[in-house]
């Protein structure tokens, strides 16, 4: 069963999303908190993961990140990873208040950018009893160096500086497209599969998604290092799902980070690329996620 929800963060921003509650016996269920990746909104297949969890007796709180989709927040279309981490923790606090939530059995799930967020959240917040991180960003600096050609990096840095000076003068943040059909065109996610997946999903099921992001979001991406926290997650059980052909949040960085994680942990490998986990490989990824939370939140509870 799915209900629309909204809740306020500590700074008063309203975030909106869905609360999924399993059928059957209750009244309290283990609950997983989840939000989406860089610029993405909840309609971009997070409902499939929440439904899979409900099928194994796990509730979920699913929400749009601030400044995006149905959630409030300014400036619109800005992605601040550290603020999103704080919002994850506020969402956990909100989940604790729901009468259907067993507050002793809370987990977090994230994918792509939020796959990095949940590594940080699980390392810092011991209310989290289980974590699943799918195709995660590990190092913003190293990943950016893989996505942006070396001869273009100085020009991008100059744009960051220009934007910073303009904001100090009171001008609105500069923006850029998230995806581009032209591989050489300016885009925050400059890969062909980013264009294919996000443009198609926007038309099919996510009309609130916008192909725009603040330039400052891209600068913050390059400063973000969620993989630095991975060794501190233990003893919280960690599931990592890595797509071997992922060249957006590159697979070798995720695999190296997994080796730095301590037990208990589990690695699931997908043969495809970054976005395949949501659709064509969902039967693998979704089953792995639901089995992991069932094992550590339902059976172990």
Q: Convert the pLDDT of each residue in 240-268 to its tens digit.
A: 999 999 999 999 999 999 999 999 999 99
> Nearest CA to 44 among 65, 20, 59, 30?
65
Q: Is residue 250 included in any domain, yes or no?
A: yes
Q: Rounded mean pLDDT of 223-247? A: 98
Q: Is the per-residue pLDDT at 25 higher than 80?
A: no
Q: Is residue 87 part of a domain?
A: yes
Q: Which residue has the higher pLDDT, 297 or 24?
A: 297
166 within some domain: no
Residue 217 lies in a domain: no
Could you report the per-residue pLDDT of 132-152, keeping only the tens digit for each? 999 999 999 999 999 888 888
Domain assignment of residue 82, given as a range: 2-140+227-299
* Residue 154 counted as domain residue: no
Question: Over 90: is that where the pLDDT of 208 sits?
Answer: yes
Q: Mean pLDDT of all residues in the chain?
A: 96
Mean pLDDT over 285-296 rounds to: 98
- Angle, CA 84 vertex, CA 80 and CA 87 arms, to 5°: 145
> Is 277 inside a domain boundary?
yes
CATH number, position 285? 3.40.50.1820
33 falls within a domain: yes
**Tokens standing for residue 269:** 């490998």
Asked if the structure places residue 151 within a domain, the reply is no
Would you place residue 184 in the very low, low, confident or very high pLDDT band (cuts 50, 70, 90)?
confident
Domain count, the chain: 1
Quote the pLDDT of residue 270.
Answer: 98
Check pLDDT > 60 for residue 301: no
Higher pLDDT, 159 or 150: 159
| pLDDT over 70 percentage in the chain | 100
Task: Give 87-125 pLDDT, tens digit per residue.
Answer: 999 999 999 999 999 999 999 999 999 999 999 999 999
Residue 300's pLDDT band (cuts 50, 70, 90): confident
């Amino acid at each position: 069963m799915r209900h629309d929800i909204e809740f306020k963060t500590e700074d008063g921003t309203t975030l909106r999303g869905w609360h999924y509650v399993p059928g059957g016996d209750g009244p309290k269920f283990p609950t997983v908190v989840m939000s989406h990746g860089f610029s993405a909104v909840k309609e971009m297949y997070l409902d499939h993961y929440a439904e899979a969890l409900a099928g194994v007796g796990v509730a979920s709180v699913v929400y749009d990140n601030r400044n995006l989709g149905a959630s409030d927040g300014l400036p619109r279309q800005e992605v601040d990873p550290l603020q999103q981490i704080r919002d994850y923790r506020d969402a956990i606090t909100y989940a604790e208040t729901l009468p259907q939530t067993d507050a002793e059995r809370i987990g977090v799930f994230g994918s792509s950018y939020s796959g990095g967020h949940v590594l940080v959240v699980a390392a810092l917040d011991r209310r989290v009893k289980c974590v699943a991180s799918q195709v995660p960003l590990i190092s913003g600096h190293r990943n950016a160096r893989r996505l942006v050609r070396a001869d273009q990096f100085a020009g991008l840095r100059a744009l960051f500086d220009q934007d910073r000076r303009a904001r100090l003068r009171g001008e609105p943040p500069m923006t850029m497209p998230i995806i581009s059909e032209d591989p050489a065109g300016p885009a925050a996610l400059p890969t062909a599969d980013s264009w294919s997946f996000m443009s198609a999903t926007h038309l099919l099921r996510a009309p609130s998604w916008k192909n725009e992001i603040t330039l400052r979001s891209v600068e913050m991406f390059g400063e973000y290092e969620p993989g630095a926290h991975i060794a501190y997650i233990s003893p919280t059980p960690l599931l990592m799902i890595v797509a071997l052909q992922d060249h957006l949040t590159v697979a070798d960085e995720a695999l190296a980070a997994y080796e730095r994680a301590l037990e208990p942990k589990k690695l699931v490998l997908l043969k495809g690329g970054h976005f395949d986990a949501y659709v064509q490989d969902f039967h693998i990824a979704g089953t792995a996620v639901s089995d992991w939370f069932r094992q550590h939140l339902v059976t172990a509870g």
